[in-house]
Amino acid sequence: MDQIYWRIGYLILGAISGTVAVASYSIAMQISSFAIFLPTAMHGVFLPKLSALIASKTGLIEVNNIFCKLGRLQYMFIMCCLVGFILLGKTFITLWVGDSYASCYLVVIIVVFGYILDVSQNVGISILQAMNKHAFRAYVYLGMSILNVILSIILGKKYGEIGCAISIAICLFLGSGLMINWYYNKVGINIKIFFTNILKLSFPLL
């Protein structure tokens, strides 16, 4: 589902917009992938510890602490990348690939903005795996992938690579933002504290 979700834009743009749009979209996705590499790598190392905590009777409190602490670090990293790119990204793209790919700037901002929440809560994936409750997330991603295909065709025809980026952001907000957070709350993760911490961090980061 992950491959379908992130690769469908190339196929759709190739069919409806041509090679320039595909090249511009490809550059934008390459840049945006740098912003999620480190935060995504963080959560995987916590799976053994989380499994041991969940197996204990009082481990959920510590699990929530890890979720909030690691979430803050991931959020700070991704927001620093986004704010830095907003300030300097247009000049960087112009120097790197030229003015003809200026649309990359907006595509990167839209995509990165779309997965801020998903990246900040990556440790939640390991928590669900440790609880053996990650099937719901797979179903959500299946739904997101199908919706992304439909929206990418509709928006891609009208707005090109920017339309495909908007489609990704919308699906991430609905799936990783609304539905997954509802599920996290249902399985015992304190989402309220997480968002309180995120809001406190947002103003100084901006």
* CA dihedral angle for residue 51, residue 45, residue 111, residue 128, rounded to 10 degrees: -10
User: What's the rounded mean pLDDT across residues 38-42?
Assistant: 72
Tell me phi and psi for residue 120, to 5 degrees.
-65, -20
Q: Which residue has the higher pLDDT, 29 or 42?
A: 29
Q: What pLDDT does residue 57 have?
A: 59
Cα distance between residue 203 and residue 205, in whole Å: 5
What pLDDT digit, counting tens, does each position of 141-179 carry?
889 989 988 998 899 888 888 888 899 999 989 988 899
Cα distance between residue 2 and residue 45, in whole Å: 21
Q: Which residue has the higher pLDDT, 90 or 14?
A: 90
Q: What pLDDT does residue 44 have?
A: 67
Query: Count of CB atoms within 10 A of residue 198's CB?
Result: 20
CB 110 within 8 Å of CB 165: yes
Q: What pLDDT does residue 109 have?
A: 92
DSSP state of 56: S
pLDDT over 80 (residue 59): no
DSSP state of 141: H
Identify the top-confidence range among 18-32, 36-50, 103-117: 103-117
Cα distance between residue 39 and residue 57, in whole Å: 29
What pLDDT digit, counting tens, does each position of 66-98 carry?
888 888 888 888 888 899 999 999 898 888 888
Q: Report the residue count for the chain.
A: 206
- pTM of the model as a whole: 0.86
The percentage of residues in the chain with a pLDDT greater than 90, rounded to a whole number, is 13
Mean pLDDT of the chain: 84
Q: What pLDDT does residue 43 have?
A: 66
